[in-house]
Chain A
Amino acid sequence: MSVSDKNIVLGTREQIYMERMAPRVMKYAGGIGIAALIAAALLGLALHDSMKQFLCSYLTAWVFFFALAVSALWFVLAHHLFKAAWSNVVRRIGEAVSNNFILLAILFIPILLGMKVIFPWTSHAFMMSGSELRHKQLFLNTPFYILRMAIYLGVLAAISIYYRRMSLLQDQDGHVSRLMRLQKHSGWCFLVVCWIMNLIGVDLVMSLQPKWLTYVEPLYFATGCAVTFFAALPVITRCFQRQGFLPMVNKEHYHDMGKWLFAFVMFWAYIGFAQYILIWYGNVPKETAFFLFRQIGPWAAISIALIIGHFLIPFLGLISRWPKRRPGTLVFWGVWVLVFQYLDFFWQIQPAVYEQSQKVQSAPVSGLDPYKLLGSADKMVWMPLHPLSLLISLLCVVGVGGVFVAHTFYLLANKSLLPLRDPRLPEALAVESI
């Protein structure tokens, strides 16, 4: 081995190791999180709707943070799969965020306890009410659901823990062989994670409306997940930099993060458009059930807000080169997209929970006036937009998020924020974007 005499100075120990800040964040975030969850649960009880709104808000928040973790894992695996260089400077963030699956599995217990309230297929009578539904019972039943979730979360947890542990071990002993092993396994792990990202969408979103059929929803869900971490990454990195960490992350790296964010925002819009336009054009009742709801009343406003806020505005905002190269601007767009990605999950999940009380399952989306169909129906479908419901949703995000952040900082504490002995770190530091 020939070692050139010129070493690269990364910075001081305080800039690479999070020693003092992590415990403080853990204490506050964890405390606030638990308090918010308790408050949300109490509010939910006060609504006297057998916790329906609380569970629905909680599921939305859980899905949002699950999306963050799974896309962070996607990012780490993609880094190894593509043998990327630039992402070495932020890889540790991805590794820490992705290691939350055990926590998420614990946080999923309340949803399992309240399954009967939000998942209509848990009712035998409901599943016997239609010939198509009857055929779905082999897949949509409680034991199989729990088994699937256990397998999904277990596999994700195992992969994420392996990738983080190997990476940390390499910091200690510097063996390149560890990196080689991670690269070697990244192929099939990546494939498995992609499959789980897709299939879990069927369980978390599609099965809320068991009569709804669409082929691309799993992919739409997975794309929504993938957006999350790429929106969060510049925000997290910038926050760390403001606290004095990671001074070596420069505008070239932000440019790369921005490109990923832009690409996924575009891809999300593409898949969403594909789903909508084909359902709109085909007008087949078993498909239109989903969109019919979401194009009337306040939900229509949210649908349009999604098109504009999740696609049009970030598209115009991120298409140029300079916003991606200015950390401040990119952080703004990161937060913006995160908010709209949450809204996307909100829009997918929350009306679905209330949808079963409606009688519009077999109406076409276009051509007929949906208001007429809904004329005498009750207004339950707008329940999630009630201020109290919105407050519960907000508290759930703060609650799950607080616990999530606390655990992430627990993982970050006292570990190097850079893979110090990764042989490609010098290349990552010197990267230049086109």
Chain B
Amino acid sequence: MSTYIPSMDAPVEEPALYGLLAEFHDPQSLMNAANVLRKAGYYRWDCYTPFPVHGLDKVMGQRPSILPVVVFTVAALGCIGMLALAWYCNAFDYPIVVSGKPYWGLGPHMFLAFPVTVLASVTTTFYATFIFCKLPIFRHPLFTSERFRRATDDGFFIAVEARDAKFDLKVTSELLNSAGALAVEEVRD
């Protein structure tokens, strides 16, 4: 059995620099390094970890996600929409009497509105999460790094993108090294 190593087609010319990839030993040293980077004023950079590291978002200075607001809005629309549909069908367009009940009752129609609300919120959560993450994406410069394959196993990485205004190959790599990186490498697209 031959070992398969995924690779891009052979480049014709020197590919553009994506940025610098630094590996760290554990979540705490990653967090300390992230703190250094944020204070140094970098903007286009990211941490890569095999699991969500608690508090890292605070260190990186991330804003809260608007996901809950989006989900709540869609959920409310779903709820109202289903109730309106039930009203239109059974009370307005073709009124039918069922066991002497009023045409339209909020109580029993909760059994309709509730699952539809949940269905709307769940699908919204699912799609919105990945859309906000700009996923799916099957080609990314970081995937060319052999070292980076451990980001989903036991590696802790920081990648600083070359398009960051403060990016400078030498200065940034020194900064990463002094922040405790085990290794720093260039990533090319």
Contacts and interface: CB of A to CB of B under 8 A. Distances in A.
Direct contact of A and B (CB under 8 A): yes
A277 B101 contact: no
Given A273-B110, A280-B107, A366-B102, 7 more contacts: A277-B107, A281-B108, A283-B99, A320-B68, A366-B100, A366-B101, A367-B100
A273 B106 CA distance: 11
Contacts of B108: 277, 280-281
Contact of B107 (A276, A320, A432): A276
In terms of DSSP, what is the predominant structure of the interface of chain B? Answer: loop
A78 B68 CA distance: 31
A367 B100 CA distance: 6
Interface string B80-105: 00000000000000000001111001
Contacts of B100: 283, 366-367
Assign chain A's interface to a size class.
10 to 19
Interface in A255-289: 273, 276-277, 280-281, 283
Interface in B93-134: 99-102, 105, 107-108, 110
Interface string B47-91: 000000010000000000000100000000000000000000000
Contacts of B105: 280, 366
Nearest to B114: A273
A366 B104 CA distance: 12
The 6 A-B pairs of least Cβ separation, nearest first, read A367-B100, A277-B107, A366-B101, A280-B107, A277-B108, A276-B107
A361 B110 CA distance: 28
Contacts of A320: 68
Nearest to B97: A367
21 contacts: A273-B107, A273-B110, A276-B107, A277-B107, A277-B108, A277-B110, A280-B105, A280-B107, A280-B108, A281-B101, A281-B108, A283-B99, A283-B100, A320-B68, A366-B100, A366-B101, A366-B102, A366-B105, A367-B100, A367-B101, A432-B54
Counting chain B CB atoms within 10 Å of each CB, the highest count among A276, A281, A432 belongs to: A281
A276 B111 CA distance: 13
A280 B98 CA distance: 13
A118 to B, nearest CB: 31
Nearest to B111: A277
A366 B105 CA distance: 10
Contacts of B102: 366
